[in-house]
Structure 1
Amino acid sequence: MAGSATPRTADPRRVAVAFSGGRDSTALLQATVRSAPEASIDEVLAFHIHHGLSAHADAWQAHCERQCEALGTTLVTHYLSGKPAKGESVEAWAREGRHAALAAMCREHGVDLLLLAHHRRDQAETLLLQGLRGAGVAGLAGMPQLQWRDGICWARPWLRQPREAIEAYVAEQGLSHVEDDSNGDRRFARNQLRLDVWPSLNAAFPQAEASLAQAAEWSREALELQREMAAFDLQSLAGAGGLDLAGLAALSDARATNALRAWLHAQTGQPAPASLIRRLRTELRPNASWPCVGGQLHEYRGRLVFAATAAAPHPPSQLVNLGFAGRHPQPGWNGTWLVEPTEGEGVGVTRLQDLTLRAREGGETFQRSPKSAARSLKKACQEAGVPAWLRDGPLLFSGGQLVFAAGLGIDARMLAAADEPRMSLRWLPVESKAPFTAP
């Protein structure tokens, strides 16, 4: 059914089929149940999503119950709650809700292999729709046959099968299925393509389905190559301090754009708009900033840095123990303390064991070096060239004396004596992420 190098985490003798009651999923469920004994599968679950969008939704669920009872398998139904927001696509709302529900059902029932009934025509239609939207390689790659997401394998075993083969199987087995009345609604792009465009396209080019599906496979190979190249480049370009812009500029235009796109996806968790990529490639200059999903991008000392938008006001003051080496996450501050042993300048280990962490309140002073005068935090940041977006980090105090200020470092008045065990202290404004995460 499906193979992958990703280790199985659930019972391999249990699989699930996304079952709408329509022709394709009915055929897949019946075929899976029939082949289960020879595939050493003990249980096949049917996962049904009740979208609540059609007046026939209850009748479809009842039909699915009868089908599963006849097959001797279990139907699990999830009811989507809510409704599309004003201006939101009904298709997108239903798709996102369905995907989230199926993933939750897999986790709840200990399933890590979910079968989907998409076929070759679906793949060809996806490529056409993505092309008409001006999609890049990721969109043109269509749907993967196997995809692991959060420990679940989403498998499409019939993705290379023509629609006609499934229709023939349904007729041969005498399978009963429902017809979704929304399939005739031309307001939806895929329906318009199926009803108005595909018949003429198929008449003029009988091989269209197979050729477009093959083109999607070539695009997926190109996408995998892009991802591998991005991962290779970001090993040397990306780090906790941001993206090395000089190293990025040394790459070819296509390779630099590919690495930048992958890095942005790793930071924000979403594909970067082409307009943002173009701006970053043409507008990079010292101390510039650009808005993006979830925060802002900043050029800072030759690196591109992502600063996440604070989800909530800073938490109240708290006691922290940084007296041992390692990373000490501060989720409320969207960052991490990095503590490491040092023979250079640092803070005494005993002093780091009992610290107070809090936000700026006003009146704090900072001394950059033993020979300099203490200045207000604002003036100290200005003199050190700390940009405004890095000045809102946490402060550490010991006995009422400032020990560390984010963006500035250790206050000289708190430096350990030469014979005292000490630690270096760094504040990473954004928690470290993997250099690249495939979308």
Structure 2
Amino acid sequence: MTLRPLAVACSGGRDSIALLHATWRAARVLADDTGQLHPIHALHVHHGLSRHADDWLAHCADQCARWRDKGADLQFHARHLRLAPKSGDSVEALARSGRYAALADMARTSGCDTVLLAHHREDQAETFLLQALRGAGAAGLASMPASIWRDGICWQRPWLRHPRAAIEAYVAQHGLQHIEDDSNVDPRYARNRLRLQLWPALTAAFPQAPQVLGDAARHAHDAAECLQALAEIDLGAVAVEDGLDAAAAVALGGARLRNLLHLWLWRTAGEPPRASWLDRLSRELPVCVDARWLMPGSGELRLWRGVLRWGAMTPQATPAQSLALPDLHAERIWLLPTFGGVLYIERVTQGGIALDLLRRLTARPRSGGEQFQRAVGTPPRALKKQYQQAGVPAEGRGGPLLFSGEQLVFVPGLGLDARVVAPAGQPQATLRWHAHHTGDSTDQGTG
């Protein structure tokens, strides 16, 4: 039997050095029983944020070498991060995401699918408090899971229910040498302020706080799993082909609607939405008929004809001032990349444009002042008024206006101008515009 290698994240601090030491000692005990030594890989991330970072890397490498001399099947790996925080970026968040990405990559390279992390009970309690102070929901309050698979790696925290004091006692018992991170006393970081200023007063007043807050995190984890299961059920009931049935979603009620939207948007947009944004959407969605919401980041939500859809915003094409079209009377499809879409031409027996007019059309961007006549016997009116009367949403008003000379012929979202509709019996065709928008397959304007 071949034992799978196991990885341990090792920063060089007290907790991770203790975990690495305990892991290779446990592997040695296992080898005494099985005759096989379990391969261990120590993974170190050099963040480049401290002037002592090189010393920490060297300390971890030397420690692993000394333990190898004592018979440990222990390999050391290090990865340098190139963090470039911009103005307004959270250095903590940037370092955390970079660290986990580097650990995962080193684990895969080493053939490991499990990484041990040295977080303990006080770490969990601090995380719970920080999440609560940020206004997190159940998923955030669940804090750090004891075990979770992510991106093909199983992240395990075997000491999550053990107190810091037990680790300190273990370090003292075995005389382990570790480094002290000078950034741990930097008050710029939220966790440090909590640990240095709030935590001593909290534990003095409530000695049981670490255990109680850890229990609260586990309760929140259970609640988050239940909410996830409920959202899955609701999503199955209200999902349509390219979005959500808005009326069915609203009928779930405010709390379930927010829970559903959280899951759907996370999966659709690739990131969890902010709680404040979900609150706004759950208030406005029940009273809107057609609407558009710009999401933080690069996406937008569109409510149109009872369906809520998400789409990535794409840069709007800069249309030409005027584009002479070729003879379209024999065409079925004409691509207009300058205007970001496709023009469809379909033969009809009535309600269309005379084929002769298709020989001399020009495409123009909307410039203002255009008059459109929706039906015979009605007066021409400004496009804005016509769009409003027809209920065309803002995202449905893009694309080229087609002219024959100075006569407006076709408007995306509205169709053909009544003044150019050919008499019945005359060869004619209808026009349809399709805009290229991610997540939106609707056609704009048939005539």
1:16 aligned to which of 3, 7, 11: 7
Letter in 2 for 1:13: R
Q: Distance in 1 between matches of 2:84 and 2:438?
A: 37
Q: Distance in 1 between matches of 2:94 and 2:234?
A: 36
Structure 1 residue 12: Cα displacement: 6.2
Tell me the equivalent position of 1:342.
none
Deviations 1:116-141 (A, max 9, x none): 11011000001111111222112111
Tell me the equivalent position of 1:321.
none
Of 208-217 and 287-296, deviating more is: 287-296
8 Å Cα contact 1:14-1:41 kept in structure 2: no
2:291 is the counterpart of 1:296 = no
Structure 2 matches for 1:93-132, cutoff 5 A?
A: 93-132=94-133
* Gap runs ≥5 in structure 2: 69-73, 319-331, 367-371, 375-385, 400-411, 415-427, 431-435, 442-447
Structure 2 matches for 1:4-403, cutoff 5 A?
A: 13-37=4-28, 38=30, 42-72=38-68, 73-284=74-285, 285-292=288-295, 293-310=297-314, 359=337, 364=343, 366-367=345-346, 371-374=350-353, 387-389=393-395
Q: Distance in 2 between matches of 1:115 and 1:239?
A: 41
Structure 1 residue 160: Cα displacement: 0.9
Tell me the equivalent position of 2:378.
none
Letter in 1 for 2:23: T
Structure 1 residue 209: Cα displacement: 0.5
Could you state the TM-score of these two structures normalised by the residue count of structure 2? 0.72
Deviations 1:334-391 (A, max 9, x none): xxxxxxxxxxxxxxxxxx9xx9876365994644965431499999997996645357
Q: Distance in 1 between matches of 2:77 and 2:87?
A: 30
Q: Distance in 2 between matches of 1:145 and 1:114?
A: 12
Could you state the TM-score of these two structures normalised by the residue count of structure 1? 0.73
Deviations 1:279-316 (A, max 9, x none): 212222122111103211111111111111227979xx
Q: Distance in 1 between matches of 2:126 and 2:188?
A: 16
Letter in 2 for 1:290: W
Tell me which structure has the larger Cα radius of gyration.
Answer: 2
Q: Distance in 1 between matches of 2:241 and 2:41?
A: 44
Q: Distance in 1 between matches of 2:17 and 2:315?
A: 44
Return closer, same or farther for 1:142/1:116 CA change in 2, 3 Å cut-off.
same
Of 356-365 and 279-288, deviating more is: 356-365
Deviations 1:311-341 (A, max 9, x none): 7979xxxxxxxxxxxxxxxxxxxxxxxxxxx
8 Å Cα contact 2:311-2:437 kept in structure 1: no
Letter in 1 for 2:290: N
Q: Give 3-state SS (helix, strand or coil) of 2:94's partner.
A: helix
Letter in 1 for 2:439: V
8 Å Cα contact 1:118-1:158 kept in structure 2: yes
Deviations 1:389-415 (A, max 9, x none): 35779xxxxxxxxxxxx999xxx979x
8 Å Cα contact 1:240-1:428 kept in structure 2: no
8 Å Cα contact 2:314-2:437 kept in structure 1: no
1:430 aligned to which of 432, 439, 446: 439
Q: Distance in 2 between matches of 1:220 and 1:245?
A: 29
Return closer, same or farther for 1:84/1:245 CA change in 2, 3 Å cut-off.
same
User: Which structure has the higher relative contact order (CA within 8 Å, separation 6+)?
Assistant: 1
Return closer, same or farther for 1:407/1:232 CA change in 2, 3 Å cut-off.
farther
